[in-house]
Amino acid sequence: MNKKIILSGMRPTGKLHLGHWVGALSNWVSLQETYQCFFMIADWHALMSEYKNSSAIKENIFDNICDWLAYGIDPKKATIFIQSDVTEHLELYIILSALTPLGWLYRCPTFKEQINQLKDKEINTYAFLGYPILQAADILLYKADYVPVGEDQLPHLELTREIVRRFHNIYQKGIFKEPQPLLTPMPRLVGLDGRKMSKSYNNYIALDEEDNQIKTKILSMFTDPLRIRISDPGHPQDCNVYSYYCTFFDELKTDVYEKCITAKRGCVECKEILAKKIIEIISTKREKKKKFLKKKELVYDILNDGRKEAKRVASLTIKEVKEIIGFNYF
């Protein structure tokens, strides 16, 4: 068994929505078939932006894990664990912190962006500056070959590779691998209002949304602004509803396009059909999730097994690293 290794993580900052499915989870589900996968709940990373409301993280973890399981992450195929359960992450984090120049962190585009975007969260903190170092530690502890991420995370991957090179130059070559990003094949899903799909904009469809909510939300989507009367031909390329068809129902997109530009179908009907199709995707998974939510013991067992496996691998790396830097005291 010489499978390539994958690690990825999600921050438990709220409910998961279709954007997470398109941007990460669907990819994870297929990757677990061919790679040795570690899927992590990044609760320390969540703390860095949610420290004022840190008690909500616990609930989010359980909720998110139940979504993962319902949507097909399989604990028999992948290792599912919570970052803070494996204390080695913090050990490697401090070791890597020692050799990472401040300039690399200040220069990181995500740092500046987030500070400006999340003003109310007051993340102009020491820990938030070091966010990418902890992420590097996550990846390097498991010697991941690939890291499935969205484009926004590419600077963190680049920084991880720079840290690897610096570690190798200072101590010893060949300890870590330079991880490569695996960009998600699906395009980014925009929110119901055309902005980025996000909890803070309240423009999302949750992975466990109830049927009537899905319908209400989809019927409220904006369509082609130039299509005023039902007899006006539409411009699907300017319509967010059409982009949802393209993302989720490739097989329908030609028909939707054709009916739109020839004004054979009105926008309300077009949205009703979309809602019905999305409901088909979500409803069975939502019911599956409800079962996991009730089976707390089962979920805890899965997390416990995941912790053991993650810890087994992480502790080997930490032992090796401590030896190399001369911290093998006894």
Binds 241: which of ligand SF4, ligand TRP, none (CB < 5-8 Å by kind): ligand SF4
275 binds ligand SF4 (CB under 6 A): no
Three-class secondary structure assignment of the chain: CCCCEEEEEECCCCCCEHHHHHHHHHHHHHHCCCCEEEEEECHHHHHHHHHHHCCHHHHHHHHHHHHHHHCCCCCCCEEEEEHHHCCHHHHHHHHHHHHCCHHHHHHCHHHHHHHHHCHHHCCCCHHHHCHHHHHHHHHHHCCCCEEEECHHHHHHHHHHHHHHHHHHHHCCCCCCCCCEEEECCCCCCECCCCCECCHHHCCCCECCCCHHHHHHHHHCCCCCCCCCCCCCCCCHHHCHHHHHHHHHCHHHHHHHHHHHHCCCCCHHHHHHHHHHHHHHHHHHHHHHHHHHHHCHHHHHHHHHHHHHHHHHHHHHHHHHHHHHCCCCCC
Q: How far apart are CA 163 and CA 174, in angstroms?
A: 13
Tell me the closest approach of the beta carbon of residue 251 to ligand SF4, in angstroms: 15
Which CB sits closer to ligand TRP, 36 or 153? Answer: 153
Radius of gyration for the chain, computed over Cα atoms and rounded to the nearest angstrom:
22
User: Judged by CB under 6 A, which stretch of 131-139, 181-189, 206-214, 256-264 contacts ligand TRP?
Assistant: 131-139
Which residues, 29 to 48, sit near ligand TRP by CB under 6 A?
A: 42, 45
242 binds ligand SF4 (CB under 6 A): yes
Minimal CA–CA distance to 174: which of 183, 164, 182?
Answer: 164
User: Amino acid identity, residue 85?
Assistant: D
Number of residues in contact with ligand SF4 under rule CB under 6 A: 14
User: Judged by CB under 6 A, which stretch of 100-108, 122-130, 209-217, 265-273 contacts ligand SF4?
Assistant: 265-273
User: Judged by CB under 6 A, which stretch of 33-41, 46-54, 219-227, 296-304 contacts ligand SF4?
Assistant: 219-227
Tell me the closest approach of the beta carbon of residue 301 to ligand TRP, in angstroms: 24
Binds 256: which of ligand TRP, ligand SF4, none (CB < 5-8 Å by kind): ligand SF4
Binds 9: which of ligand TRP, ligand SF4, none (CB < 5-8 Å by kind): ligand TRP
Whether residue 272 contacts residue 219, with contact meaning beta carbons closer than 8 Å, is answered with yes
Which of 29, 48, 239, 282 is close enough to bind ligand SF4 by CB under 6 A? 239
Binds 149: which of ligand TRP, ligand SF4, none (CB < 5-8 Å by kind): ligand TRP
And the tokens for 32? 């677990």
Tell me the closest approach of the beta carbon of residue 78 to ligand TRP, in angstroms: 14
192 binds ligand SF4 (CB under 6 A): no
Which of 77, 166, 168, 265 is close enough to bind ligand SF4 by CB under 6 A? 265
Which of 67, 91, 208, 224 is close enough to bind ligand SF4 by CB under 6 A? 224
236 binds ligand SF4 (CB under 6 A): yes
The residues of the shown chain that bind ligand TRP, judged by CB under 6 A, are 7-9, 11, 42, 45, 135, 138-139, 147, 149, 153
Residues forming the site for ligand SF4 (CB under 6 A): 223-224, 227, 234, 236, 239, 241-242, 256, 260, 265, 267, 270-271
